[in-house]
Structure 1
Amino acid sequence: MKRFIIIPIILTTLTSIGQQSVTLEECYRLVVENYPLARQSQLFESQNNLDKAIISNAKLPQFNFDAQATYQTDVIEIPIPNTNIEPLNKDQYRATLSVNQLIYNGGATNAALHVKSAQTKTKQKQVDVNLYQLKQQVNQLYFSILLAQESELLLKAKQTQLEAKLKEVVSGIKYGVILPTSDKVLEAELLKIKQQFQELESNKTALIETLSQLIHQPLNASTLFQNPLVEVQLQQDLNRPELELFQLKKDEIAQSETLISKQNTPKLLGFATGGFGNPGLNMLDNSFQTFYTVGVKLNWNVFDWNSNKKQRQSLAINKDIVDTETETFKLNTNIALNQQQKEIDKIEGFITSDLEIINFRKEVLQTADSQLKNGVITSSAYITELTNLYEDENTLVKHKIQLQLAKANYNIIKGQ
């Protein structure tokens, strides 16, 4: 009995010695590591360190230097005769250096640091979300390459079978069993196969180049793309990075609420001022003097026209917005999962039918093979049946790759 074209997809898992191979999981890892957007996480961290250092400076002494020279049209005079008190000069000079040290602000500085850290985590998680969404693009490219890879194997099997059949036909023509032009039909079909090889190779090369750029990894036509064993586990819980992003947004809101609650807290500062000027602190001494003052001051915004309360109300609305975003995301994701499961079920049904069709095609081709040898049918009729079997086997391969892609997309939607 003749053996026909069936080529199991599992053949692509066999690697040649020294041949470069890549897996789907490696492509996931590489796109997350090498995509330009990935560098933003480190940039956000560096920016956060700088911003926190600026905020922390509020705990350090604050220095201010002031200098001024003035001329005024009038000065204070003592209206008491014979006191020998000289009036002040109309030109006056003063230079001071002041130091302010925060003693207490109700923890507002630490609260501001926590807000900045929460904001950075949110930005970094947004980067993770954007990178995660690239995985479906990787899926589409990877499984398209697998399909081209499998189609090449299948087409090669058809070519081998036609070449073997051509030898039989040439022999049959020689002995007068088969019509003289039958070999030309087979040769023409072999030329068509060469064209199909060129088209497959061109499409595969374009896909590989695109994937190579996406994951920033050198790939070429000789690279073997291993077929993943994609399993789907039906579970209720989602594990998407978007859910972590929503939680981080709520954490950021909570930290902002804490900061707002401390904005109206009394602030206690210590200060010291030293200076040199004419006049000094003694206004009756009309000469250049050194001077200094030290003390403590309290700053308390007793009434802010309900600004603090309104800011809290605004944050509460933001929290509700995040809750609605979370619910919407879960709803849309569950809808997408349900649709993807229906797609998986549909393709599995197609594969079952494909196998039955191929079995029928094999029986028909076996009969056609015998008829061709005996000169009952022409080479064209044989090629028709061979092409029918090839196309149905190609459909089976396509459906198997589509099934793997559907399962991989299901896992990405689920967050597995």
Structure 2
Amino acid sequence: MESIQSFARANYPAIRQFELIDKIADFSLADASSAWAPQISLSGQATYQSDVVSFPESMTDVFSMLGVDISGLHKDQYKLALNIEQTLWDGGYTKSRKEAVLAEKEVSSKSLEVELYALTDKVNQLYFGILVLDEQLRLNDLAAGILEDNRKIIRSYIDNGLAGPSDLAKVEAELIANSQRRTRICCSRKAYIQVLSVMTGRELSEEDTFVRPEPVLYSGGPQSNRPELQLYEAMAASIEAGRTALKSTLMPRFSLFAQGLYGYPGLNMFEDMMEYRWRPNFYVGVRFQWNISAFYTKRNTERRLDASVRQVELQRETFLYGNRLEQVRLNADIEQMRKILEDDDKLINIRTSIREASESQLRNGTLLISDLLRDINDEHRARIDKSIHELEYLKKLYEMRYTLNY
């Protein structure tokens, strides 16, 4: 059964999302790390201004008398700029961004694990369904053998005048009913196998043998190890990563920057007032930035994060509540099946002895064939009940295993 579960998990289309989740996280981490690389941008602009910097007319007259022509700046101005900025300290923003990416990756992975874990229960239901049908087939064939033996006996009685055709007809009718039951069981078994074949992506056939799994007993406490709990932990960690990111937005940032310029006018405005010419210029410096307005929303953001944490806690508590209820129910069912199984062997022994006594009475001519058929059916039902009870007990154990994931 565990191999079928592994095949079903490997064949489930959503499992391919794990690779995509890793790739998306790697890309996001690379993007976050690029914040420490020099940020380079190129810009350009052309403007026409209504007014420009110029000397008063009295001063231009003086310059003219001295033979200096200062025509002033042109109103059409142009600039090409290459900007380079290197972050020195970003208040922990890049680090918090990486933590948020990893936390989001964990949430996505755990959410997918929850979806995949649900496959286990579906496979268990189908697998135990096949085991029940296999047992019904075995017991059905056993009952058919008993009926066939009694049909031979009744035929010999008819030959000796000890029984009539109606007695034989009753047995043959029961054999036909038995054959119909076998057909229904085989069709159901085929359908179950076909569903498992689709789920596992393997070619399973009706000739395959499905082995009964060993009992799995839980000796620990009531704690659960379900993947849903790991998902809630990942969700809480993701919220805390958001809290760290919030703190980083409140911190100042320091960076080095440089800007190379080419255009008109340049940084030496007086020179450009005397001569119209495009010139290269540059400047470097240290920049300090602090977004004070981030404090406006800090309190509401913290409240929203607190509410999200509480929401995750309530989801976790609700899941554990339902999980504990399921555990209590399964414990009661398991205990009930144990007590029922204790009496099954006794009941089968009694039904077998009654059937054998009825066969003896039939041979002696002191019992009706209908009474024998009733006793055969009672014994057959007792054997079926025991087999079903054993499988139900085993199924409940595996349901407990699924409920607690041990």
TM-score normalised over the length of structure 1: 0.89
Alignment of 1:118-129 (within 5 A): 118-129=103-114
Q: Is the 8 A contact 1:277 1:290 kept in 2?
A: yes
- 1:44 corresponds, among 21, 37, 41, to 21
After superposition, give the CA deviation of every residue in 1:179-224 in whole Å (9 maximum; x if it has no partner): 3443332222222222111110111111111122223332121111
1:218 aligns to what? 203
Matched, 1:282 2:259: no
Moved more, 105-114 or 307-316: 307-316
2:129 aligns to what? 144
- 2:213 corresponds, among 204, 212, 228, to 228
2:2 aligns to what? 25
- One-letter code of the match for 1:55? A
Matched, 1:63 2:40: yes
Output the CA distance in 2 between the equivalents of 1:216 and 1:405: 24
- For residue 106 of structure 1, report the CA deviation from its aligned partner: 2.4
Q: Is the 8 A contact 2:217 2:397 kept in 1?
A: yes
After superposition, give the CA deviation of every residue in 1:321-370 in whole Å (9 maximum; x if it has no partner): 32233233222212210111101112222223333332221122112101
Matched, 1:172 2:157: yes
Output the CA distance in 2 between the equivalents of 1:77 and 1:266: 39
Alignment of 1:16-415 (within 5 A): 24-79=1-56, 80=59, 81-83=61-63, 84-236=69-221, 237-284=223-270, 285=272, 286-302=276-292, 304-415=294-405
- For residue 238 of structure 1, report the CA deviation from its aligned partner: 1.9
- One-letter code of the match for 1:63? I
RMSD over aligned Cα atoms: 1.8
- For residue 408 of structure 1, report the CA deviation from its aligned partner: 0.6
Q: Secondary structure of the equivalent of 1:150?
A: helix
Output the CA distance in 2 between the equivalents of 1:161 and 1:197: 15
Q: Secondary structure of the equivalent of 1:225?
A: coil
Q: Is the 8 A contact 1:179 1:375 kept in 2?
A: no
Q: Is the 8 A contact 2:249 2:294 kept in 1?
A: no
Output the CA distance in 2 between the equivalents of 1:394 and 1:92: 98
- For residue 74 of structure 1, report the CA deviation from its aligned partner: 3.2
Gaps of 5+ in 2: 64-68
- One-letter code of the match for 2:225? N
Aligned length: 393
Output the CA distance in 1 between the equivalents of 2:244 and 2:36: 19
Structure with more helix by fraction: 2
Q: Is the 8 A contact 1:239 1:415 kept in 2?
A: yes
Output the CA distance in 2 between the equivalents of 1:54 and 1:149: 57
Moved more, 95-104 or 83-92: 83-92
Output the CA distance in 1 between the equivalents of 2:322 and 2:313: 14
Q: Secondary structure of the equivalent of 1:78?
A: coil
Q: Is the 8 A contact 2:42 2:83 kept in 1?
A: yes
**Structure 1 residue ranges (4+ consecutive) displaced by more than 3 angstroms after TM superposition:** 302-306
Seen in structure 2, the aligned counterparts of structure 1 residues 73 and 262 have a Cα distance that, compared at 3 Å, is: closer
- One-letter code of the match for 1:192? A
- One-letter code of the match for 2:39? Q
- For residue 47 of structure 1, report the CA deviation from its aligned partner: 0.9
Q: Is the 8 A contact 1:178 1:373 kept in 2?
A: no
Q: Secondary structure of the equivalent of 2:269?
A: coil
Output the CA distance in 2 between the equivalents of 1:275 and 1:302: 31
Moved more, 103-112 or 166-175: 166-175
Gaps of 5+ in 1: 1-23
Output the CA distance in 1 between the equivalents of 2:25 and 2:259: 34
- For residue 303 of structure 1, report the CA deviation from its aligned partner: 5.1
Output the CA distance in 2 between the equivalents of 1:331 and 1:398: 30
Moved more, 223-232 or 370-379: 370-379
Output the CA distance in 1 between the equivalents of 2:196 and 2:215: 20
Output the CA distance in 2 between the equivalents of 1:364 and 1:159: 18
Q: Is the 8 A contact 2:40 2:82 kept in 1?
A: yes
Output the CA distance in 2 between the equivalents of 1:87 and 1:106: 46
Output the CA distance in 2 between the equivalents of 1:301 and 1:77: 37
Q: Is the 8 A contact 1:177 1:373 kept in 2?
A: no
Q: Is the 8 A contact 2:326 2:403 kept in 1?
A: yes
- For residue 306 of structure 1, report the CA deviation from its aligned partner: 4.0
- For residue 380 of structure 1, report the CA deviation from its aligned partner: 2.8
Output the CA distance in 1 between the equivalents of 2:104 and 2:32: 14
Output the CA distance in 2 between the equivalents of 1:307 and 1:411: 47
Moved more, 62-71 or 405-414: 62-71
1:18 aligns to what? none
- One-letter code of the match for 1:34? N
1:3 aligns to what? none
- For residue 251 of structure 1, report the CA deviation from its aligned partner: 2.0
Moved more, 107-116 or 255-264: 255-264
Output the CA distance in 1 between the equivalents of 2:199 and 2:152: 46
2:66 aligns to what? none
Q: Secondary structure of the equivalent of 2:3?
A: helix
